[in-house]
A and B are shown apart, each in its own frame.
Chain A
């Protein structure tokens, strides 16, 4: 499906939870969504329209903790970045690993690097931090003071 078709579909399914769309280049789109509905949206992308989950990128900005979930439409090379913004004080979001095995490791890594909590993660536990840095330390967080 084309980018326009995708936007139409997702807006009709999730209406008010789609907070904005941004066409980047020929085949890249960023869709800003309500973090509370990420589970349904990701399920729709992975199970209904069969996009491939590439990875999730987290970053820390003045606005808060932002996560981009990157999905690929391999039939035409489009990449869709699903964007969520989480607050500074309590960065929490539902874990996609509940139904998407491919998200398991990256969510654990994002937790160790940024301190974002992934609720109901089926397999929480250290991934890369064991022996490398202490509990409660989140090395990729930035200091905006």
Chain B
């Protein structure tokens, strides 16, 4: 239980020392308890939504989280279309799925980069983020913006993907398939990464069911749930793909699930492009003039898990109540099971494996002494510990 001086060191990832979102209470090298504080990111979005019209709310919910920028409008659109009782045209379904799956690819690449950084593989960080750029270029081509694409509306999508854009999409998918192969090989075959991630941060199937966790966090522990397959919407019932699961529940399993999911996303996008070619251009929305009173529950499988929107309407132009639940809300609580009992150097990667929304990752963990409550390691120090451990393993393998 030594008190260590906090020396702030800044690598590529500029972590803030306060506020600490997660406090790890440590006895020697082992994490004994974990406490967390939130509220730093509270912006009153659900209340803001009540003062906006439905069309305006799409722009608002896009900005809940930048990485899941399409997932929230997707779930919101599903909820609204339930209330309005409309079906959207097939072309809109394909476009929605293309945008959703492109987002999944860029989000998983982002995560691979961050995980690589936490483990001390800054090359992986640079490569993964470099290969994100072609995906962001596609977004810019389709929607005009690299993030926050504003593609969704009630009844369909706001912009079409014309046939002259399809060759570029297909070309990028081919390129990404090669690069994802490269990254997957680099991660899954590396003995040091095996040593750092196998058996670390394990969540059992029972843990997942108790915490009602979702997404790759759940699928890596053998809980086979995926909203795209369980409650088909958009084009997911119209194309051929499979849900990736694993059984070990450790950090390695979570990485494997995310990497293999990227291949499935590429498959879905290619099939959706084929589907678009067969349909007439321009037929991208079912016009909805008024939204009746009622309630809708829409959900969608974001890269991190199920995003859920509940909307209650009373016949006016704005929601009377708009409840939003992001997947990290239920996933983050699993930290208690995944981190307690781990060493400090493994805590960072266990936390990152759940892929909390980046805003949470930025204000990551700080270590305290379990007995005295004194702060012993800052956030950047924790990452350094993790990177040092990788070095040690590399030298001794």
Contact = CB atoms under 8 A, between A and B. Distances in A.
Instruction: Give yes or no for direct A-B contact (beta carbon below 8 Å).
Output: yes
Interface of A: 24-25, 27-28, 30, 50, 52-55, 57-59, 61, 68, 70, 72, 74-77, 79, 81, 100-102, 104-106, 126-132, 139-140
Interface stretch (B37-45, B59-67, B188-196, B351-359): B37-45
Interface in B25-51: 37-39, 42, 44, 46-47
5 contacts: A30-B295, A52-B212, A59-B320, A102-B330, A139-B44
Nearest to B326: A55
A128 B312 CA distance: 23
Contact of A74 (B44, B85, B225): B225
Contact of A25 (B47, B85, B325, B330): B85
B342 to A, nearest CB: 19
Say what secondary structure dominates the interface of chain B.
mixed
Contacts, number: 83
A85 to B, nearest CB: 14
Nearest to A104: B333
A96 B336 CA distance: 19
Nearest to A103: B212
A57 B310 contact: yes
B308 interface: yes
A117 B295 CA distance: 25
A68 B333 contact: no
B295 A70 contact: no
B51 to A, nearest CB: 13
B235 to A, nearest CB: 16
B11 interface: no
Contact of A54 (B38, B210, B294, B306): B306
A130 B47 contact: no
Nearest to B334: A101
Given A25-B82, A70-B297, A105 B329 contact: yes
